[in-house]
Amino acid sequence: MTITKAKETMSSKTRVRKTFAHEKTDRVTIGYDANSGIHRRLQNALDVHDDETLRKALGVDYRGISAPYTGKSLYPELPNRRRLELEGAVMRWVEHGSGGYWDFCDFPLKDAGDDAFETFPIPDPDDFDYPAALDEAKAFGKDMGIYIGSPGIPDIINSNGRLMGMEDVLCHLLTAYEPAIRFIKRRADFQLRMLERLLDTCKDYIDFIWYGEDLGTQRAPMISLELYRTMMKPVHKNFFDLAASYNKPCMVHTCGSSSWVYNDFIEMGVSGVDTLQPEAANMSPEYLKARFGNKLCFRGCISTAGALPFGTASDVIDDVKKTLAIMMNGYGYHFSPAHEIQDNTPVENVIAMYQAAHDFGIY
Q: pLDDT digit of tens for each residue in the chain (363 aa)?
A: 899 999 999 999 999 999 999 999 999 999 999 999 999 999 999 999 999 999 999 999 999 999 999 999 999 999 999 999 999 999 999 998 888 889 999 999 999 999 999 999 999 999 999 999 999 999 998 999 999 999 999 999 999 999 999 999 999 999 999 999 999 999 999 999 999 999 999 999 999 999 999 999 999 999 999 999 999 999 999 999 999 999 999 999 999 999 999 999 999 999 999 999 999 999 999 999 999 989 999 999 999 999 999 999 999 999 999 999 999 999 999 999 999 999 999 999 999 999 999 999 999
Between CA 262 and CA 215 the distance in angstroms is: 11
195, part of any domain: yes
Number of domains observed in the structure of the chain: 1
48, part of any domain: yes
pLDDT tens digits, 24-83: 999 999 999 999 999 999 999 999 999 999 999 999 999 999 999 999 999 999 999 999
Angle at alpha carbon of residue 140, lines to 137 and 145, rounded to 5°: 85
Between CA 47 and CA 179 the distance in angstroms is: 52
Task: Tell me the residue type at 296.
Answer: L
192, part of any domain: yes
The candidate with the shortest Cα–Cα distance to 362, out of 328, 334, 332, 337, is 328
pLDDT tens digits, 89-126: 999 999 988 888 899 999 999 999 999 999 999 999 99
92, part of any domain: no
SS3 content of the chain, % helix, strand, coil (to 5): 45, 20, 40
99, part of any domain: no
Residue-range definition of the domain harbouring residue 295: 12-72+125-360
The CATH code of the domain that includes 221 is: 3.20.20.210
6, part of any domain: no
Other C-beta atoms closer than 10 Å to the C-beta of 230 total 14
The candidate with the shortest Cα–Cα distance to 343, out of 58, 33, 36, is 36
Distance of CA 273 to the CA centre of its chain: 9
Q: Which CB contacts under 8 angstroms, 24+ apart, belong to 131-137?
A: 131/201, 132/67, 132/68, 133/65, 133/66, 133/67, 133/68, 133/198, 133/201, 133/202, 134/201, 134/202, 134/205, 136/65, 136/66, 137/65, 137/202, 137/205, 137/206
354, part of any domain: yes
246, part of any domain: yes
As beta bridge partners, residue 251 has: 210, 272
Q: What is the DSSP letter of 259?
A: G
The candidate with the shortest Cα–Cα distance to 72, out of 109, 126, 136, is 126
Between CA 75 and CA 123 the distance in angstroms is: 11
